[in-house]
Chains A and B, each alone.
Chain A
Amino acid sequence: MAKKKGVQKSEVRSQKSEVNFLPCSPASPASPSPHLPISPSPPPLSLLPTITVWAIALLVTATFAWIVGDIIWHGAGTISWEFLTTAPKNSGREGGIAPILVATGLILGVCLAVSLPLGIGTAILLAEFTPTDSWFGRLVRRSLDVLAGVPSIVFGLFGNVFFARTLGLGFSILSGGLTLACMVLPILIRSAEEGLRAVPNDYRLAAASLGLSRTTTLWQLLLPAAVPGLLVGLVLGIGRAMAETAALIFTSGYVDRMPQSLFDSGRALSIHIFDLSMNVSGGDTNAYGSALVLVVLLLLINGTAAQIADRWLHKF
């Protein structure tokens, strides 16, 4: 009974969104619907909002450009092959960031290895097997939204108590990665769920009418179609994880030695930047250099994800 109701609901939903839906591009903004009433000629006063909107857009862009420009200006001189491949010396004032890059990569790796399967699994459960307005779906979704807004320091303290102490992982890359996984999960699940929901219901009905099993439909049809949505979540998640300082200082720790295993403590890039600019006098140059590396890494990840999404769309 409940199942039937769910199908009916999703039919209604798909009809509603039919108008502005572009196949396979759930992330694209909705194009103006032809059904919306458009006033014949805009009143002259509309100039003011136009200017305001443009000014705000310019302001946002300018702020971004200023920050990136400042980091490049101060940090570009520091970057060299040596900076990327040597260990920090004299509390990071001299030397490079090699162990810190490795630790950051490992933390991110643990985070994604745990959060991706869990996140996509939960998203599939929420989008495909749970009716939109069931109490279970609503409860999970509400808790995820609350979790997404929890300050990272809270995750850090939780990670310190649960992973580092209760599970006995101590200050380690594993503790840090698992804490980040908890932090990233809400974002990942919600965007993956949206990605799946944006796949037109016709696909599901067509697959059912062809007699495909739900598993085949999921693997062969729904997941590939939802990949761009998943990537959006992934990029947002990686962004949040890479920029994290507060949650990591209590979990993955401060040690700037080259990590030997996942049980070693390792300093993440963002913590290195924080430490150099706040606790180490004379560390500003290398702090800027590290910040530049972090920004470039994030841009690279974003760019790659965008490219993959693009390719995928053409292939599909």
Chain B
Amino acid sequence: MPIISGVYEVIWDATFQLVLLGSLLIGATSGTLGAFAVLRRRSLLGDALAHAALPGVALAFLWTQSKALPILLLGATVSGVVGVLIIEAIVNYTRIKADAALGIVLSVFFGGGIVLLTHIQQSEVGNQSGLDKFLFGQAASIVRTDLYVMCIVSALVMIAVFLFFKEFKGLIFDAEFLSALGFSQRVVDLLLMGLIVLTVMVGLQAVGVILIAAMLITPAAAARFWTDRLHVMVLVSGILGALCGALGVGLSALAPRIPTGPVMVLVATAAFLISVLIAPRRGVLARWVRLRANALRENGQHFLRAYLALQTQDKEEVVLADLASELQLPLYRVRRLAKRLGRDGWVNTHNGACSLTELGHKEANFVVKSHQLWEYYLVYRSILEEDHVDRPADEVEHILTPEIIEQLELILAQEDIDVSGDIHKMGSGYRRTGKDE
């Protein structure tokens, strides 16, 4: 198996391990900070910042003629920060809105960067300056000293996140309340922006100016699906980011011609889509399953109400065909429903007819009671006229929690309203009748 042995070779290669470690760090840092950036709606500002860094890289090279990473990144940081300051100035002092200001700085700085890069390329005949790796990223160019820089910056970012977690949380959730508590919103915002700058800069070499923003945004957006707690989200986002970084580098090592940045971004996108699909509570699958369960329960409750409506004093049993016409459903669906309710121990079916078990009666009574309580409430509060109380009641009754029912009983009891009597014949809202028009 040549491919597999090839993979082994690559993995045990010392240079590759270095590169892998670097990408892992980049992914973890941008993932962690991305959670805050996304929630504070600064994700696209990160994009502008990254694009604006390009002319800085080129200018740093032109001035120093050096390709040392710290020098290039210093240039990148300066021009990136200048870009962000210009965005702020445009928004504060002119009538141009934030989105246009962002787009202007992003594209004009990038254009300036392109001019400088092409100038460098064309004036140095035959000598590739290697600056174009900053466009799409080339993780393979990470060397040992670069790794030290990355380690230091990542450690700084992580420590800051740990120390100022509370402040960032306040900033994201309710910035005005944070300032009311005596924290300067401006300072906390600046701190967060500073950390975003550091994170973007450290990832420039491996991911590139064009796509580094995705490493901030995508893992964080994916993490949001797994949890509702901020600290868990930050953790998940960091881990996802690290995984995407490592996996992206691993994949692009197999095809060295392809730049690392886009591969990492595609891996992150895949992670996002998988999260959307399978995340336990907010995920699409989980929600689909729950909707389906809800629908089944509603149908069951309609079945029970229809049963009570058809049941007569002397006869316990109700014929399924009658139920079908009462519910206006095809017979086969009513059969299936009866079977399912049978499994729940509510209904006994025999020879095309069914009867409720004791458990089934209890459930049916509960359904009818909550329906009636809700109707009484609506009419009592003069929310609805008596004659069309039924349809909305029908929508709501399935989902009234025991707490709401308790409250309803309490309210109606306080007002001394007799719930046992009939205000009108129990409705038949379970029929899927057409709209009025």
Whether both chains belong to one complex is answered with no
Which residues of A pack against B, CB within 8 Å?
none
